[in-house]
């Protein structure tokens, strides 16, 4: 805006955020943490000072740049300050602010986190990386008064090199904006709870001047599972360096010279293939003269033929369920014990697959799924009616997709990348999402691409123009629930010839634990159980259906669900939000999947 003599930026400049968006923290700087969890990694988790910044004044007035902010005391300034870092209340990181304080349960504004930390280099050429595993949604990071950049996306990791900014004594300030906006991914209208805050780990990583930034180790495509391909990316001044690849379990020990920071290996090997029944993982070590990483990687092949899915050359039915990253006590924050309990509930149902909806879940999920032998569908929140014609929205979606793939493409458990859920088949959406499928294949040629699509309710047929760009056609249908006429489901299946495998990503209906009634009473356990029986009997007779993941494993918070049975929760879970009380429909799926178990 035009500045006048009485202009004051913190109250007159509505474009205040522009300067913080000049440096984007995105997938181009993302490093792979998987092999570094025990080496050079230091946690910044714990108690941080926190304030709910209702008017986004931290960024409007640029509090971190204030000359008094390093020493941190309002008492030390000769001007009145509207903040006092050390006087703020303390809040745990990681956590969602919604559950940390009762009065913030529905807060969706900007929250400001701050803490101090000390740093002493261990070597003269050491670089220091600051890493965030997940912060919802727009995160602007300041260190010692300097803006390091801004990241968009609630569920994917990002990092920034702070070597040139860090000092011995440091003040870190993080502004996290959780607003729902039409141009964000997802947009303002969703069907889950909008948790805010630093809800995943915050870390420091020490690396050498030239370090191993990323690696992608997998079976060479079309090699009959007899060759391994490995690409390694370096970051730093010495782009040309000797890179060693070692897989002791296969007798692999190779060394080549990188070119322009990239080293690529193609190796003859016949690994034991990873599968749900035998989740074999191999120790993989990648090293240079100054750096090394270790990862556990499984080798497997996933592909489709006609209407079937094949894992390692054998036809497989995806016996699964959808799940949200929502916990009654922790919100969107999770831990290894919760992830393992989720997988245990799936296995007790004789399942082999989970659809992680509708956004990237914690990175530990895929690592644990590798160990446990569970197949995963991973997804980005291109959800419902996002701004498909807005370039910034596409940039956001593509970046979240890239960050997810770069994070998890070494995980054998991940077999499907999904580019969205329940979007109307418009021209703008087709352009937007077809471009996303191309991005997937440019980053990872070894997995299936899908999206959860709506069926054509007018023609009663499974069709969507996006299907031409997908390997697996994901379908959501709620016959017997949102459309009470269940007879349409067998008609729909009879009318359809998709020409590729179909996974029914969602079906089902709601029920409240303790609510009984007839099979005609909505929200009764009996209604839900009977609906599941009808769904299973119909779906199992359809030859092109290659998997099912009903909606959903656990009841979860959702502010749009406000009737007497829901009371702020989506009650379609097979298990109550307490994650222990199983509904009768759970046992319908258990019996169905047990029938399919070899």
- Tell which of 247, 282, 300 closes a domain: 300
CATH code for position 151:
2.60.120.260
What is the chain's mean pLDDT, rounded? 95
Are 453 and 479 members of one domain? yes
Considering only CA atoms, which of 384, 231, 222, 194 is closest in space to residue 301? 222
Separation between Cα atoms, residue 49 and residue 267, nearest integer Å: 51
Are 371 and 487 members of one domain? yes
Angle at 189 between CA 183 and CA 193, to 5 degrees: 115
Angle between helices 391-408 and 427-443 (to 10 degrees): 30
Are 237 and 307 members of one domain? no
Angle between helices 525-539 and 488-495 (to 10 degrees): 20
Q: Does 78 score more than 90 pLDDT? A: no
Instruction: Please give the tally of structural domains in the chain.
Output: 3
Residue with tokens 């009997």: 537
Are 307 and 296 members of one domain? no
Separation between Cα atoms, residue 292 and residue 285, nearest integer Å: 7
Are 258 and 319 members of one domain? no
CATH code for position 507:
3.20.20.80
Separation between Cα atoms, residue 383 and residue 452, nearest integer Å: 10
Are 321 and 295 members of one domain? no
Residue 275 CB partners (closer than 8 Å, separation 6+): 300, 311, 312, 373
Given a contact cutoff of 8 angstroms between Cβ atoms, the answer to whether 151 and 24 are in contact is yes
Give the H/E segment covering residue 569.
strand 569-570
- Beta-bridged to residue 303, according to DSSP, are 310
310-328 pLDDT per residue, tens = 999 999 999 999 999 999 9
Whether 397 is in a domain gets the answer yes
CATH code for position 243:
2.60.40.10
- Give the 3-state secondary structure of residue 149: strand
* Position 76 confidence tier, pLDDT thresholds 50, 70, 90: low
Residue 53 CB partners (closer than 8 Å, separation 6+): 109, 110, 111, 112, 175
Are 129 and 14 members of one domain? yes
Whether 3 is in a domain gets the answer no
- Tell which of 300, 332, 355 closes a domain: 300
Q: Which strands sit side by side in the sheet containing 158-161, from one edge to the other?
A: 41-43, 202-207, 127-132, 158-161
- Tell which of 207, 242, 276 closes a domain: 207
- Give the 3-state secondary structure of residue 490: helix
Instruction: Output the pLDDT for position 70.
Output: 46
Give the H/E segment covering residue 536.
helix 525-539
Are 420 and 546 members of one domain? yes
Instruction: Show the domain range for 189.
Output: 9-207
Q: What is the mean pLDDT of residues 558-568?
A: 96
pTM of the model: 0.97
Whether 324 is in a domain gets the answer yes
Whether 4 is in a domain gets the answer no
Are 63 and 194 members of one domain? yes
Rounded to a whole number, what is the distance in angstroms from the first to the last CA of the chain?
69
Are 255 and 163 members of one domain? no
Are 439 and 524 members of one domain? yes
Whether 153 is in a domain gets the answer yes
Residue 300 burial (CB count, 10 A)? 22
Q: Which two tokens stand for residue 398?
A: 């593509």
Residue 255 burial (CB count, 10 A)? 12
Are 361 and 257 members of one domain? no
160-205 pLDDT per residue, tens = 999 999 999 999 999 999 999 999 999 999 999 999 999 999 999 9
Separation between Cα atoms, residue 217 and residue 254, nearest integer Å: 13
Whether 2 is in a domain gets the answer no
Q: What is the mean pLDDT of residues 365-393?
A: 98
Residue with tokens 């007879």: 487
DSSP label at 377? E
82-103 pLDDT per residue, tens = 999 999 999 999 999 999 999 9
Whether 426 is in a domain gets the answer yes
């Amino acid at each position: 805006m035009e500045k006048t003599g009485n202009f004051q930026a913190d109250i007159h400049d509505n474009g205040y955020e522009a300067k913080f968006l000049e440096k984007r923290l995105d997938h181009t700087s993302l490093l792979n943490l998987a092999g570094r969890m025990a080496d050079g990694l230091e946690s910044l988790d714990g108690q941080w000072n926190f304030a709910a910044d209702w008017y986004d004044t931290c960024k409007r007035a640029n509090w971190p740049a204030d000359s008094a902010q390093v020493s941190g005391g309002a008492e030390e300034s000769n001007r009145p300050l509207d903040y006092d870092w050390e006087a703020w209340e303390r809040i745990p990181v990681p956590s969602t602010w919604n559950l940390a304080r009762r009065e913030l349960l529905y807060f969706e504004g900007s929250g400001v986190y701050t803490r101090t930390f000390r740093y002493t280099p261990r070597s003269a050429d050491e670089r220091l990386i600051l890493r965030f595993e997940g912060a919802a949604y727009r995160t602007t990071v300041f260190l010692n008064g300097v803006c390091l950049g801004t990241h968009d996306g609630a569920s994917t990791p990002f990092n920034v090199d702070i070597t040139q900014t860090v000092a011995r004594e440091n003040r870190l300030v993080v502004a996290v904006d959780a607003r729902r906006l039409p141009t964000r991914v997802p947009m303002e209208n969703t069907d889950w709870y909008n948790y805010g805050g630093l809800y995943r780990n915050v870390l420091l990583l020490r690396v050498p001047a030239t370090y191993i930034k990323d690696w992608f180790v997998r079976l060479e495509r079309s090699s009959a599972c007899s060759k391994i391909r490995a690409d390694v990316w370096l970051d730093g001044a010495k782009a040309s360096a000797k890179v060693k690849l070692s897989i002791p379990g296969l007798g692999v020990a190779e060394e080549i010279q990188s070119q322009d920071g990239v080293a690529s290996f193609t190796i003859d090997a016949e690994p034991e293939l990873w599968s749900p029944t035998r989740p074999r993982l191999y120790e993989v070590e990648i090293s240079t003269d100054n750096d090394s990483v270790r990862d556990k990687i499984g080798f497997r092949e996933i592909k489709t033929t006609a209407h079937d899915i094949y894992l390692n050359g054998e036809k497989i039915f995806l016996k699964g369920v959808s799940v949200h990253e929502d916990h009654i006590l922790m919100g969107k924050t999770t831990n290894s014990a919760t992830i393992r309990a989720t997988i245990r509930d799936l296995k007790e149902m004789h399942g082999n697959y989970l659809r992680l909806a509708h956004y990237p879940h914690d990175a530990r999920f895929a690592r644990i799924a590798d160990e446990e032998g569970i197949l995963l569908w991973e997804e980005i929140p291109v959800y419902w009616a996002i701004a498909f014609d807005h370039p910034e929205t596409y940039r956001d979606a593509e970046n979240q997709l890239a960050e997810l793939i770069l994070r998890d493409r070494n995980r054998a458990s991940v077999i499907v990348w999904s580019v969205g859920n329940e979007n109307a088949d418009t021209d703008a959406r087709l352009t937007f999402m077809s471009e996303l499928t191309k991005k997937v294949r440019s980053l990872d040629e070894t997995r299936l691409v899908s999206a959860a699509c709506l069926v054509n309710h007018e023609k009663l047929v499974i069709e969507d123009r996006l299907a031409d760009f997908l390997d697996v056609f994901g379908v959501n249908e709620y016959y017997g629930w949102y459309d009470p006429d269940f007879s349409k489901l067998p008609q729909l299946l009879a009318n359809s010839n998709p020409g590729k495998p179909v996974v029914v990503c969602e079906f089902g209906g709601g029920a409240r634990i303790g609510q009984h009634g007839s099979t005609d009473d909505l929200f009764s356990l009996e209604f839900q159980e009977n609906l599941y029986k009808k769904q299973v009997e119909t779906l199992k007779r359809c030859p092109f259906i290659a998997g099912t993941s009903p909606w959903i494993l656990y009841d979860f918070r959702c502010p749009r669900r406000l009737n007497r049975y829901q009371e702020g929760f989506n009650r379609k879970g097979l298990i109550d939000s307490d994650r222990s009380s199983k509904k009768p429909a759970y046992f319908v799926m258990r019996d169905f999947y047990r029938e399919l178990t070899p």
